[in-house]
Amino acid sequence: MQNIKNNNEQDPKERINNFNEVALGYTPEQAVSEAERCLGCRDASCIQGCPVEIDIPKFIAEVKKENFSKAYQILKEKNNLPAVCGRVCPQETQCEKFCILAKKGNPIAIGSLERFVADWAISHGALEKSEQKFKELERDSAEQSAASSPRFAGEAGPKETQYARRNTKKIAVIGSGPAGLTAAADLSRMGYQVTIFESLHAAGGVLRYGIPEFRLPKRIVDIEIGYIKKIGVNIEVNMVIGKVKTIDELRVDGFKAFFVATGAGLPYFLGIAGENLNGVYSANEFLTRVNLMNAYRFPDYDTPVNIGRKVAVIGAGNVALDSARVSRRLGADEVTIVYRRSEAEMPARLEEIRHAGEEGIKFELLTDPVEISGNESGWVRVMKCLRNRLGEPDSSGRRRPVAIPNSEFDFNCDLVIVAIGQGPNPLLLSTIPALKLNSRGNIEANSDGRTSVPDIFAGGDIVTGAATVIEAMGLGKRAARAIHKYLNNAKR
């Protein structure tokens, strides 16, 4: 039996005119039918592919029985953001790649099932029930500890599902993306007083300012963050740590440990002539204007965004594809992804590439821009490009692009969006000289998030460089355990 692909989608002709969600999710019947294909393997290989270690066969077994509420509880034991992950995780390279049925080319659609269960929970009030359970367990724990000798939660190694009595130790999490949110939620469940400091005016990191509404509705981000707040995490926005307050000042304020999860928000540029012309954006600025500042609703909102008739987006990762699809929705006549390698090396999720193709995005592959020229008013007019062929694989394992001599050609465009990657923002890091960085400026940390400074832990893109939501969450989870261990061993 073939897996049930999530074909409930908005028609491409309609969706290029709106920002509503493209993928609409399984119906209950489809979810149960897909769950019935799962073999419930004893040593389930799919779990190995999940950085937050969800018990995948267990939650799918509950979907089979139509016990969606129980399935949700199982998901939530390990994953603080299931409605987000069910939408944006590249499952084809993670859990689904490891599913035993993938060997026959037909893995269980784990991501679609995760999304179905999380959406079902949201629409059936299961989030409120989880919160209620948290409060009951917290109260029971407080009563128990009042009756017995004082005990710090989980000294023998707490399960994340065990809730602990509140204690007075304060932990600061810097950055509210998936890494910070995950670590904060897990630490709060362990009983700590956790504050997230976020530099922007709203929490969520890339989930809010990067990934567009049609892939990840802000309503979903708000609901998941709302739950994290309800279980006790305090979030302070407009707090640029390193500027408004330093780590040293936070130490004076009583914070005993820090989790730095400031992401990779500094855009890379091509370093070619003409990048300072009007009409050249970094993808970061372009998407932030649209997603965070609501530029797509200008003039109802204050922030405008320029949109050309012919848009060139440089790069082929998720960021590039999101920029291209946003441009299309904002009314560009022609949008082209310009990428230096071939389709096989494109880093974006397969679903995004398919969706972009359906929406009429063009692909100019094996092509490298070498210069951008403008008109007399300083606006982009044309991009000079070179053709490439593929050479030997480079350190990333992907075949290296090699320029073909004398292959120059002109590509006419009036907007260029550069989406070739992002690096760490040095603002906070420059205020902590003892923190060891690698040659790319990322924090050096071990797999548990330990850094060269004992009370500072780090995880997510600030450590790995630009990666994925679930990898950031996995690091947040491991760092939460390591912080707990550190605070219990520390003589303070």
Joined tokens for residue 282: 């970094």
Residue 46 contact partner, candidates ligand SF4, ligand FAD, none, CB within 5 to 8 A by sort of partner:
ligand SF4
How many H helices and E strands in the chain?
A: 19, 16
Q: Does 108 bind ligand SF4 (CB under 6 A)?
A: yes
Q: Give the C-alpha separation, 233 to 235, whole Å.
A: 6
Nearest to 378 by CA among 325, 306, 302: 306
Count CA atoms within 13 Å of residue 191 on its CB side.
24
Quick one: which of 116, 197, 339, 457 contacts ligand FAD (CB under 6 A)? Answer: 197
Q: Give the C-alpha separation, 215 to 282, whole Å.
A: 20
3-state SS assignment for residue 346: coil
Q: Does 56 bind ligand SF4 (CB under 6 A)?
A: yes
Q: Does 292 bind ligand FAD (CB under 6 A)?
A: no
Q: Does 221 bind ligand FAD (CB under 6 A)?
A: no
Whole-number Cα distances in Å, 262 to 171, 218, 241, 266: 16, 20, 10, 11
CB of 31 to ligand FAD, least distance (A): 22
Contact 79, 91 (CB under 8 A): no
Quick one: which of 57, 205, 279, 369 contacts ligand FAD (CB under 6 A)? Answer: 205
Q: Give the C-alpha separation, 59 to 69, whole Å.
A: 10
Q: Give the C-alpha separation, 167 to 382, whole Å.
A: 61
Q: Does 40 bind ligand SF4 (CB under 6 A)?
A: yes
User: Counting beta carbons within 10 angstroms of the beta carbon of residue 349, is it exposed (0 to 12), middle (13 to 18) or buried (19 or more)?
Assistant: buried
Joined tokens for residue 451: 């850094």
Joined tokens for residue 358: 């359906």
Q: Does 86 bind ligand FAD (CB under 6 A)?
A: no
Neighbours of 442 (CB within 10 A): 18
Joined tokens for residue 280: 């050249």
User: Which residues inside 261-290 make contact with ligand FAD, applying CB under 6 A?
Assistant: 261-263, 265, 287
Q: Does 442 bind ligand FAD (CB under 6 A)?
A: no
CB of 479 to ligand FAD, least distance (A): 11
Nearer residue to ligand SF4 within complex by CB, 91 or 130: 91
Q: Does 220 bind ligand SF4 (CB under 6 A)?
A: no
Neighbours of 432 (CB within 10 A): 21
Q: Does 443 bind ligand FAD (CB under 6 A)?
A: no
Nearer residue to ligand FAD within complex by CB, 236 or 371: 236
Quick one: which of 41, 223, 390, 403 contacts ligand SF4 (CB under 6 A)? Answer: 41
The count of residues interacting with ligand SF4 (CB under 6 A) is 15
Quick one: which of 89, 173, 225, 332 contacts ligand FAD (CB under 6 A)? Answer: 89
Residue 206 contact partner, candidates ligand SF4, ligand FAD, none, CB within 5 to 8 A by sort of partner:
ligand FAD
Quick one: which of 25, 51, 57, 274 contacts ligand SF4 (CB under 6 A)? Answer: 57
Quick one: which of 9, 77, 101, 236 contacts ligand SF4 (CB under 6 A)? Answer: 101
Q: Does 32 bind ligand SF4 (CB under 6 A)?
A: no
Kindly indicate which of the ranges 17-25, 38-46, 258-266, 333-341 contains the residues binding ligand SF4, using the contact rule CB under 6 A: 38-46
Nearer residue to ligand FAD within complex by CB, 51 or 158: 51
CB of 420 to ligand FAD, least distance (A): 12
Kindly indicate which of the ranges 26-34, 38-46, 84-92, 324-332 contains the residues binding ligand FAD, using the contact rule CB under 6 A: 84-92
Residue 88 contact partner, candidates ligand FAD, ligand SF4, none, CB within 5 to 8 A by sort of partner:
ligand FAD
Neighbours of 212 (CB within 10 A): 20
Q: Identify the residue whose tokens are 């950055």.
A: 175
Q: Give the C-alpha separation, 432 to 415, whole Å.
A: 39
Q: Does 336 bind ligand FAD (CB under 6 A)?
A: no
User: Counting beta carbons within 10 angstroms of the beta carbon of residue 370, is it exposed (0 to 12), middle (13 to 18) or buried (19 or more)?
Assistant: middle
Q: Does 277 bind ligand SF4 (CB under 6 A)?
A: no
Q: What is the DSSP letter of 344?
A: G
Backbone angles phi, psi at 399, to 5 degrees: -65, 135
Quick one: which of 10, 33, 45, 294 contacts ligand SF4 (CB under 6 A)? Answer: 45
Strands 170-174 and 193-197: parallel
Q: Does 106 bind ligand SF4 (CB under 6 A)?
A: no
Radius of gyration of the chain (CA): 24
Contact residues for ligand SF4 (CB under 6 A)? 38-41, 44-46, 56-57, 60, 99-101, 108, 110
Contact residues for ligand FAD (CB under 6 A)? 88-90, 174-180, 197-200, 205-206, 210-211, 239-242, 261-263, 265, 287, 318-319, 322, 349, 425, 427-428, 460-462, 466-470, 472
